[in-house]
Homo-oligomer: A and B are copies of this chain.
Amino acid sequence: MTFELDAHIAVRSQGGGEYAADLDTGWVVGGGVNGGYLLALIGNALRESFPSKPDPLAVSAYYLSAATPGPATVSVDVRREGGSVGTASAELRQGEETRIAALATYGDLDRLGDDVGTTAEEPDLPPPDECVANTFAPREILELAPMMGRFDMRFHPDHVGWAVGQPSGRGEIAAWFRLVDGREPDPVSLLMVVDALPPVTFDLGLMGWAPTLELTAHVRAKPAPGWLKVRHATRNLAGGMFEEDCEVWDSEGHLVAQSRQLALLPRPVDTPGVIL
């Protein structure tokens, strides 16, 4: 059985660092294709480019234009490869348009030390059954964001006030997360997970799509199978932009990924219902 994420991020080597891909329509959200999905697809091409270094350690993506479902090309240019890490630039293009320019460092998480020292704390989430499932989202949201159909998300009940017009104003959204078809998390899929939740600005009452300018993800450990806990938070809105910090914790309580993105504040919504 091929899980749908693996089918959707599949790339076909064309030689010379070029990979052909098809952006699946199942990841549309708002006016484009989800940035986390695109990041995982680029991450998959990078993994093929570094046979002995299968894991993303750091990936930075600059989003230049909105992608659309259909054919795309990923170009990978390895800039330096050493014994333990390799670094490459990558671009995702559709026709003449560059969608994403990226840089990434890959390595082998199994070969890194197993020392861990963490003062970060896991999101405090009630059990999944006591959280609010994304399947309860209004039908108009699910139609605008087919991506939601890929996920089983269970939101902290205190973090979904925005769904009923009562955002908390704290700037925080945390949820349990897994893929609907049982595909377990791995380092490349975490690149998608860090951009899967609704924008944290929902919790500030700013409904609308928040275009990402830049997103950097660090994968810090291989995730254990099972539910992930994902937490989005923002601490600073200024100049029409906000940062969104994401943490992903695995079922064994390890912080497996961290990311930060700089995004544009949603514009005031003039089309009712267009809120992703």
Using a CB–CB distance below 8 Å, which chain A residues touch chain B? 57-58, 60, 62, 64-65, 79-80, 85, 87, 89, 98, 101-105, 109, 112-120, 170-171, 204, 213-214, 216, 218, 220-221, 234-241, 243, 254-255, 258, 260, 262, 265
Contacts and interface: CB of A to CB of B under 8 A. Distances in A.
Contacts of A237: 115-118
B98 A80 contact: yes
B220 A241 contact: yes
B101 A171 contact: no
Contact of A216 (B87, B118, B254, B260): B260
Contacts of A241: 57, 112, 220
Contacts of A238: 115-118, 220-221, 254-255
A80 B99 CA distance: 10
How many subunits of this chain does the assembly comprise?
A: 2
Contacts of A116: 236-239
Nearest to A234: B119
B239 A112 contact: yes
B89 A64 contact: no
A221 B240 CA distance: 11
B213 A214 contact: no
B105 A103 contact: no
Contacts of A115: 237-240, 265
A245 to B, nearest CB: 9
B120 A235 contact: yes
A119 to B, nearest CB: 5
A101 to B, nearest CB: 5
A117 B62 CA distance: 24
A241 B257 CA distance: 13
Contacts of A119: 170-171, 234-236
Nearest to A222: B239
B213 A236 contact: no
A220 B240 contact: no
Given A64-B87, A216-B214, A238-B220, A117 B262 contact: no
A240 to B, nearest CB: 4
Given A60-B60, A109-B239, A218-B243, 5 more contacts: A57-B262, A60-B103, A117-B204, A220-B238, A260-B260
Q: Which 4 A-B pairs have the closest CB atoms?
A: A112-B239, A60-B60, A120-B235, A117-B237
A60 B171 CA distance: 25
